[in-house]
Structure 1
């Protein structure tokens, strides 16, 4: 039975389109995509089977309809993007997103780094000023940045994470310095005015992708320099929803250490996947009682929910430090 073309995943539809327009045009299109997009589409191309005429017609028609919706209006596009996103999200939320969009459009050197192996990136930047290293890592995806950081000398890692966490914006002079480095190394250039990069969340994301022992060492160094900042990073490294990645035995251990009242309050703000994880690790009767308590609780203040979640996370971290449970996540230590 033929597959409905509209049900094919996005990468497969793109792969069909590119294979339909020929090798030359397809190569030109791929030049404008990021490494992860190219990898997804390349994988889809390699695995395509039984592409029918109906599939091709559907994809080409969809492309034609989408192209017709666009015009050549481009005058003042940068100001328009800023205005629309500021109106939609507010200046605080939109500022970082705007700068990343506009910077990404013009920063060929920084984008080129995303195609490199993390070890190669580390070799390229290891002798640069730590502030430059922090800016570079802030522009990479968290997993790539984490691996790159792991290849840098141990003595540098805590300092770099501190700088990432405290980055509040990049001045033109700093970007100019970065531009010169990348121009020498990659023959790239950077014409962006400024960018909002880094911050506590960026530092936490990078640490989440590091090996557990490396992450612990880095956090120890950060906390020695700035205890408050270390706590803020720690809070974002493992959030309440991350409990869904803890194994069943760990959840059962955690449940023995927390009160029912705290659990009910915390779960009021949890998604279904985490609730199901909790229910699954309780007796049938206990799970039924918890469901009844949740339904009977009624509306609660968000601050109370967040407080209960932080209380449970504190218990989870204590159990993790004592080795009783293993917190999940991309950087979790491998078990043998």
Structure 2
């Protein structure tokens, strides 16, 4: 209803869409990008309310803005994303500058280059450094924390690692311009490529969704998708990390996972596992623990496939959480050398 004559003086008498309309009007054209986060129905509803507002008193505007800000602070209500950030930066920066900034943001966290390197997985960093001069590697490893340097050295080819150690022992203070050059090379050749390859595409997101399906639903969706786009179905299948992929864990990873998984979930998950995967878990238990686990599984009798799926999904999620913390390393389904961090 269009309000004529009298000004709106009581915020409590406004509907939700009218309140949103007042806030958006107060923010003005400078914040027009907010509208991009609304769906068509919301835009229509708020636009209709806005057109019918009439005059709104300054006290009402102030009350609503305070309510708006209070609501955000209470709920942490601002949702940021790479895409939203990139779009906002693009409004006042040239495209090449935006891309450089976004690559920095997508890369590992840290204020300085050496902080960032400290948050790069040692296997990834070692894979890059093994192609550099030993003296350059020595400089880089002298700038990161000792525990991280140790893990990187352990991941390098042994002869090359020993050469780097020798250079580090003989190292003298490095000139500032040489250090700056190494830092710039790391930024342009390593960090930028790392940021590009870490961009998340829609197939990765969909693979995570498919990982959460039960077995029948997953099979049904993949079969239907194959009929429409075989390429997409194959990419999603390759990106999915499924229960049987736990067979690629090293012994240390298996033992870490065993300590983290609830025993009843483990028994239920292994009940539906392949013989090879089941034996891999048993071989990493003590003889007594393996015997008890086998007895527990036998005493279960027949179990529902849905319960087994749920237990296996729970184990996979625990494994992913451990991998995210750097406590285990998971080999991805996409290839023998692909890693999930």
**TM-score, normalised relative to structure 1:** 0.33
Query: Over alpha carbons, which structure has the higher Rg?
Result: 2
Greater RCO, CA 8 A, separation 6+: 1
